[in-house]
Every structure is written in structure tokens, then in C-alpha cells.
Amino acid sequence: MFVRRLGIDIGGTKTLCVVVDDSVDGGSVVDERKVPTNPTGDAAAAIVDLARTFGEIDSVGVGIAGLVSRDGDVVVTTHLPGVRELPLRERVASQLGLPVVVDNDATCAAVAEWRIGAARGIDDALMVTLGTGIGGGAIVGGRVARGHNGFAGEFGHMVVARGGEPCPCGRRGCWEAYASGGGLARLAGGVASETVVERFLDGDSRATEVVTSFADWVVVGLHNLVNIYDPACIVLGGGLGSRPEIVELVSIRFAEGEGGHVGRALPSLVAAVLGQRAGAIGAAFIGAGD
């Protein structure tokens, strides 16, 4: 018997939907589609309309960038003003009559990589997404770590340099200010992060110096996370974190760093394998109660 779990990952410009058949071992994606996002529209109504196009489904999970409370209220989001302070889960569930869960998109991606991706079978794992900003999610003892308010996993706003560079959140010295795409561009004097990476791949000495400095900032945060969570595995994802050359350099600097302790091996550091589908796939699993 099919158990159809709908996962929806709402991005700033695109919304990705997948249906996961949860009746098979690990789960299998059986349907997928992408639609434009209306950032100022009625998100609850849009989700309900989308869900109804998939026919019979058993649950709905929604991933969204921002702070999402345990009740499924979107407390803070920068790219979707239409859902800010909205009881999204309650509205969607009442109209569909189905179990509905709303969570942070990076947490959803972490669940996907844990269930069927790079960290499959590892019950103490972290996912860190390195893109425009830094997101993340933690699996601790085979359970998703959400925290008291539901805001766990905001790794990018861990302070790594007191009084340091300004962060988009309004504070200074956040890890995101150094180890994201924006941080890489700042280290390069304003050159776009993709351009810096391409020059690095071409062997440019200045770009190599900048990317190595960037990798060292990534490692600072990773070592902090190791000391907090003691994971067996860290999965790197996102636009920068999924690039093999970046993962390789970060892995080398991570192993050479000073984050370990006598008697404890560092966790494995691996690249995410599910790509842009991870958020939607993880949302489907979260909607099922993961």
C-alpha cells in the first residue's frame, strides 16, 4: 500500500514539490514538480491548491527559509513577506484535513540527507548549508533537534569574532559573515563568490589565498559544532558547500585544524548528495512525523 507524503520547499523564486512513497525502505520519490513562488501572495492558499493537484496524499510537510516555531508559525523570514507572523501550519491543516508540519528548510534538508542521503543510517549527524548565508540542522540520537522554540540549527549566527564583520541579521562577528557566499565575496574585496571560485579552479594565486582563508573560517565554525554536538558525520551542502573542490579543501583544513581532542576522532566530512531536492524530500519526511 502506497503511503504518499507531500513535501514542499518554498524558495524565494521557485517552489519545489515532491511526493515520497514512505511504504518502501527509506522512501522513494514518485512525483515531482516545480512552480514559481509568489513571495507576497497568500502562502497558505497556494500550498492548499498545490497539495490538491497531487491527488490522494497522507501528509504535508513544508520547508521555508527563516525562523519557524514549533507550532508551525513563520516568525521571521526575509524573502517571503507574505508568510511572516502567519499561522501557516494551522491554516493549511484546517483546509486539507491532513497532518501538516512546517519547518526550517535547512532542517528539512538535514532530515533528507539523514534518511536517504549522505548521512543515511547515522543517528548523530549535522548538515551545514553554505550558500548566500549559512543554514543547518542537527540529528541527535536519531531525532531532529529543534530546541525550545523550534529555532535550533541557526549555525550561521554563532559568533566567531566578537565585534567582527557585520552580518545581515544586524549583529557582528557571526559565522555567516565569514563563511558564506557573502563572506567569501567580502574576503575577495567585493568580487562575486562564483568568480572567486572559478579563478581558484584556474590556479589564480590571489583567489587561492582567498578561498583558503574562507575554508579556514568554515573550519572554525565546524570545530565549534563538533565540540557542541559530537557528531559522527557532518554533511556540507548549499551552493558553495556542495562544490567538490570546496569540500576537498575544507576537509583538508578541517583535518589539520585544532578542533579535536585527545581520545576523540573528528567526524567524517562529506558532501550532500540530494542537491536542490533535499529540502522538499526532507519536508515530506518531517510531515510524516520525523
**Which CATH number do you get for residue 130?**
3.30.420.40
Q: Assess whether 139 and 197 both reside in one domain.
A: yes
Strand ranges (E), 147-285: 233-237, 268-271
Q: Assess whether 54 and 151 both reside in one domain.
A: no
pLDDT of residue 68: 87
Q: Which three three-digit cell numbers place residue 263? A: 581520545
Q: Assess whether 143 and 82 both reside in one domain.
A: no
Average pLDDT for the chain: 91
Residue 115, in any domain of the structure: no
Cα–Cα distance for residue pair 125/142, rounded to 1 Å: 9
DSSP 142: T
Give the H/E segment covering residue 224: helix 205-229
Beta strands 134-140 and 143-144: pairing type? antiparallel
Residue 49, in any domain of the structure: yes
Q: Assess whether 58 and 199 both reside in one domain.
A: no
Q: Assess whether 127 and 240 both reside in one domain.
A: yes
Q: Assess whether 149 and 244 both reside in one domain.
A: yes
Q: Assess whether 133 and 268 both reside in one domain.
A: yes
Q: Rounded to whole angstroms, what are the CA distances from 121 to 105, 111, 214?
A: 21, 11, 31
The answer to whether 58 and 98 have CB atoms below 8 angstroms apart is yes
**Helix, strand, or coil (residue 41):** coil
pLDDT of residue 289: 77
Residues in the chain: 290
Q: Assess whether 251 and 203 both reside in one domain.
A: yes
pLDDT of residue 30: 87
pLDDT of residue 43: 86
Query: The domain containing residue 172 runs over which residues?
Result: 120-273
Cα–Cα distance for residue pair 268/106, rounded to 1 Å: 20
List, for the chain, all residue ranges whose pLDDT scores fall below the cut of 70: 1, 23-26, 78-79, 82, 84-85, 258-263, 290
Q: How many domains in the chain? A: 2
Q: Assess whether 251 and 174 both reside in one domain.
A: yes
Q: Assess whether 94 and 148 both reside in one domain.
A: no
Cα–Cα distance for residue pair 184/227, rounded to 1 Å: 25
The cell 574576503 sits on which residue? 187
Q: Assess whether 188 and 216 both reside in one domain.
A: yes
Residue 114, in any domain of the structure: no
